[in-house]
């Protein structure tokens, strides 16, 4: 994870050419209000949808792992809270003041709500490769 983060940071550096580290992402201009309501732009560094309180999430949620771990996940407010409580209990995630936590949960539940299952449908047996362990 650390290596991946370093590479991302390096790429951001090279691309911007400014020599200013995380500022490269911070200076990305927000999408115009009209465009935002349909499909918010994605932050090139974290992959987070740049809408609402996304910067609060960026500040608190991508220090330990890639933003991809977040954006590929889906959940209700309750499910997101459960994931946060788990990280707080097991992964050294810090405590949030209630207002910050509310913003994070609202952002996540709004932008990454439960939806269509991310898993592919089961293949029918005739589309499967032969089973090498079947012994036939």
Binding site for ligand HEC (CB under 6 A): 60-61, 63-65, 69-70, 73, 83-84, 87, 91-93, 104, 108
Instruction: Tell me the helix, strand and coil percentages in the chain, rounded to 5.
Output: 50, 0, 50
CB of 87 to ligand HEC, least distance (A): 4
CB of 105 to ligand HEC, least distance (A): 9
Q: Tokens at residue 25, please?
A: 């992402």
Question: Could you give the CA distance from residue 101 to residue 95 in angstroms, rounded to a whole number?
Answer: 9
Nearer to ligand HEC, 13 or 77 (CB): 77
Provide the angle, in degrees to the nearest 10, between the axes of the packed helices 98-111 and 77-90. 130
CB of 41 to ligand HEC, least distance (A): 19
Nearer to ligand HEC, 42 or 83 (CB): 83
CB of 3 to ligand HEC, least distance (A): 14
Nearer to ligand HEC, 37 or 73 (CB): 73
């Amino acid at each position: 994870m650390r290596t991946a983060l370093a590479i991302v940071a390096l790429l951001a550096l090279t691309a911007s050419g400014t020599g200013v580290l995380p500022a490269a992402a911070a200076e990305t201009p927000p999408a115009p209000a009209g465009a935002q309501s349909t499909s918010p732009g994605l932050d090139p560094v974290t992959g987070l949808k740049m809408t609402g309180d996304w910067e609060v999430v960026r500040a608190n949620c991508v220090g330990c792992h890639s933003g991809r771990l977040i954006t590929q996940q889906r959940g209700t407010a309750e499910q997101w809270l459960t994931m946060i409580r788990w990280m707080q209990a097991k992964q050294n995630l810090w405590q949030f003041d209630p207002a910050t936590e509310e913003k994070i949960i609202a952002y996540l539940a709004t932008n990454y709500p439960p939806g269509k299952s991310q898993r592919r449908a089961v293949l029918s047996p005739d589309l499967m490769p032969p089973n090498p362990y079947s012994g036939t």
